[in-house]
């Protein structure tokens, strides 16, 4: 009985020592990471752009269809070489390629110029109807796609 009464307190003490050592190891690990361990790079949600099409010309056209998976479009356009100053006409209408109906008149411009226009619609196939007289034009269409950016971490 004397041996049993000496062993159990020693085992209990050893258990406490192991517990304290584990807690210290965990605390030191957290402290190491906070004070100079390799930090995890920060991430953030961003918007990237994927090109769906680009066209140039003069006069009216309908573009070939393009599919947008998000429905968020960026139209970048420019008009130049106006035949008679102040007389050039340029319009862009976004159409549904499913139903053929006009969705939005995105650009209605006179003369030379350029701009970026954003259109938000349901995802689907689209095409553009371009009405133009007296100007040369160019247009590109991009689609917004969600992405995650990782910020670089210093050395």
Which SS3 state, helix, strand or coil, does residue 154 take?
A: coil
List the Cα angle 136/138/139 in 5-degree steps.
Answer: 145
Phi/psi for 113 (5° steps) reads: 165, -165
Q: Which of 112, 126, 130, 115 is nearest to 57 (CA)?
A: 130
For the sheet with 113-120, list strands across it: 43-58, 136-150, 72-80, 113-120
pLDDT of amino acid 132 = 97
Per-residue confidence (pLDDT) for residue 36, from 0 to 100: 59
> What's the pLDDT score for residue 32?
56
Write down the pLDDT at residue 45. 84
Per-residue model confidence (pLDDT) at position 151: 74
Residue 5: its pLDDT value, please? 54
Phi, psi dihedral angles at 42 (to 5 degrees): -80, 140
User: What b/e readout covers 98-127, taking b as 16+ CB neighbours within 10 angstroms?
Assistant: eeeeeeeebbebeebeeeeeebeeeeeebb
Low-confidence ranges of the chain (pLDDT < 50): 1, 13
DSSP, res 99:
T
Distance CA 103, CA 116 (A): 18
pLDDT at 67: 97
Specify the pLDDT at position 79.
Answer: 97
Instruction: Write out the two tokens for 55.
Output: 């066209």
pLDDT for 3 equals 52
Instruction: Give the per-residue pLDDT at 59.
Output: 95
Q: Which two tokens stand for residue 7?
A: 């062993």
pLDDT reported for residue 150: 82
């Amino acid at each position: 009985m004397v041996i049993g009464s000496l062993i159990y307190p020693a085992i209990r003490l050893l258990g406490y020592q192991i517990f304290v050592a584990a807690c210290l190891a965990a605390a030191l690990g957290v402290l190491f990471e906070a004070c100079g361990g390799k930090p995890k790079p920060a991430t953030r949600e961003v918007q990237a752009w994927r090109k769906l099409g680009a066209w140039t010309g003069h006069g009216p056209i309908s573009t070939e269809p393009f599919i947008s998976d998000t429905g968020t479009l960026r139209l970048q356009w420019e008009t130049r070489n106006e035949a008679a100053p102040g007389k050039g006409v340029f319009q862009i209408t976004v159409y549904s390629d499913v139903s053929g109906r006009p969705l939005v008149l995105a650009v209605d411009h006179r003369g030379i110029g350029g701009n970026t226009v954003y259109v938000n619609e349901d995802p689907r196939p689209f095409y553009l109807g371009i009405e133009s007289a007296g100007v040369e034009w160019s247009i590109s269409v991009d689609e917004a796609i969600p992405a995650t950016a990782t910020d670089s971490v210093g050395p």
